[in-house]
Amino acid sequence: MGTGGVDRPRGQRSWRAPSVTDSLTVVHVYDGHEQVYDGRGSVPRVVWHLAHETAREGHDVRVVERQWAGLPASASHDGVTFDRIALRTGADEPWERVPYDQVTSPLGLARLVADRTNFARRARRRLQVIDPDVIHVHLPFAASVLATVAPGLRERTVYTAHLGELRLDVLTDDQRADGLVSAPSILSVASPDRYLATRVAHTTVLNDDVADAFVDCGVDPATVSVLPNGVDLERFGDVPTAERERVREAYGLGDGPVVLFVGTVMPRKGVLDLVRAIGQVDGPALDLVVAGEDDLDGEYVDRVQATARDVGVAGALTMPGFVPEADLPALYAIADLFVLPSLEEGFGMTAVEALAAGTPVVGTTVGALPDLLGAGEQGLLVDPNDPDALAAAIDRALADRTGPSVERAARERAAEYSWSTVAQQCIATYEEII
């Protein structure tokens, strides 16, 4: 067990406990396509929880982000100050224009560059006024511009690369055609991630494979470390029976087993493999809930639904699209099994959320999932892109799912990834660079 209670079975870069006694001023800079507080998506949640937990430790924490439509220019939530930048470029509505869409055309890419450059220049002025001890950036677009136009800020900047790692050895030609690429492939070209990591004081990543990819492309290994994502234990803890029943009824679920996937429905998440595997599962009729954004790749969603028809599980499949945050805890709680069949993954935040709800997990051997699930102690692991192995693991997990020991083991593992623990590790990094 490594420092802070996070298992490092493969010799991950270790963390020391923080010893900062004076209050730090920390500014998180986020130029993503969603607001940080009460926003959608995993990265905004990471930014919020790190900011919130760091503020709870007595530090002055601020978030510089875009001023989305309807949001005030400044605000404070639970001890975190928000300083928002109004821009004439880009879109004022969250998710209206996201990088996945913009980089697919020359015009879209030009708009993305103009928007992020504008944001970076405005953010630079804010940072000069605040004069923080630490600047924590989370996406490489505007941050790379910031590192270029304000080189004096580099020595106090931490970059968190929210990159995943892909098992290239298991990809089919069709999956390569879907545009799936690995972290080494991304970093081997003119990558803003690599550009940024070679200039800032420190870079944190979500798993060892991505850390190795950064080092292999020339980043100083002393400036790269693994910082896992965390989980809100209180939010995903015990869910009242009435709330579970409400969500079960709202999503039209029966009394049989429920197998759950939560995440964006896109090729790298391996949802096609999950549907094919469910077609092979023995036992009583079950419900398969594929919950998450389903409007980023309509062609892939069509393939998922067609595959469900082909393997005879269309009647079992529920695809509600984006799930309101209020429904997620109960959805995890009523699931008998959570499956994350990813071909590529950074950390697997939804997997640790399921564990926090006491739900067993089947995952693939990508990203941080092997560390999170261990050698079968907290869940079952299979190679990605193997529906047969996935079906066998689902069969086994459903057969073994009952009993308080399963729920207890899941919750105990999740407790090692509390946001408080992760924030303590993050503060240790801040201390190293000041």
Q: What residues have CB less than 8 Å from 392, skipping those under 6 apart?
A: 382
Q: Please give the C-alpha separations between residue 293 and each of 125, 165, 175, 189, 277, in angstroms, as whole numbers.
A: 35, 21, 20, 29, 21
Q: Please give the C-alpha separations between residue 330 and each of 40, 235, 376, in angstroms, as whole numbers.
A: 18, 10, 25
- Predicted confidence (pLDDT) per residue in 185-225, tens digit: 444 555 788 889 999 999 999 999 889 888 988 899 999 99
pLDDT value, residue 15 = 40
Q: Show the DSSP H helices in 131-201 as ranges.
A: 140-149, 173-177, 183-188, 192-197
CA nearest to 160, candidates 64, 247, 79, 224: 224
Dihedral, CA of residue 128, residue 134, residue 140 and residue 142, to nearest 10: -10
pLDDT value, residue 377 = 56
Q: What are the structure tokens assigned to 40, written together? A: 């959608």
Phi and psi angles of residue 80, each rounded to the nearest 5 degrees, phi first: -110, 130
> Does domain 241-415 match CATH 3.40.50.2000?
yes
How large a percentage of the chain has pLDDT more than 90?
64
Q: Please give the C-alpha separations between residue 240 and each of 231, 243, 247, 333, in angstroms, as whole numbers.
A: 19, 5, 11, 10
Phi and psi angles of residue 121, each rounded to the nearest 5 degrees, phi first: -65, -40
pLDDT value, residue 103 = 59
Q: What are the structure tokens assigned to 261, written together? A: 């996937």
Q: What is the DSSP letter of 344?
A: E
Tokens 């020391």 correspond to: 16
pLDDT value, residue 40 = 77
Spatial distance between the Cα atoms of 260 and 287, rounded to a whole number of angstroms: 8
Give residue limits of the domains in the chain. Answer: 3-230+418-433, 241-415
Q: What are the structure tokens assigned to 381, written together? A: 């692991």
Helices first, then strands: H and E counts in the chain: 17, 16
Domain 3-230+418-433 sits in which CATH superfamily?
Answer: Glycogen Phosphorylase B; (3.40.50.2000)
pLDDT value, residue 18 = 44
What is the reported pTM? 0.86
6-15, 359-368, 400-409: segment of lowest average pLDDT:
6-15
Q: Please give the C-alpha separations between residue 282 and each of 256, 317, 391, 395, 397, in angstroms, as whole numbers.
A: 13, 16, 9, 7, 12
Spatial distance between the Cα atoms of 63 and 129, rounded to a whole number of angstroms: 14
- Predicted confidence (pLDDT) per residue in 25-54, tens digit: 999 999 887 889 887 788 999 999 999 999
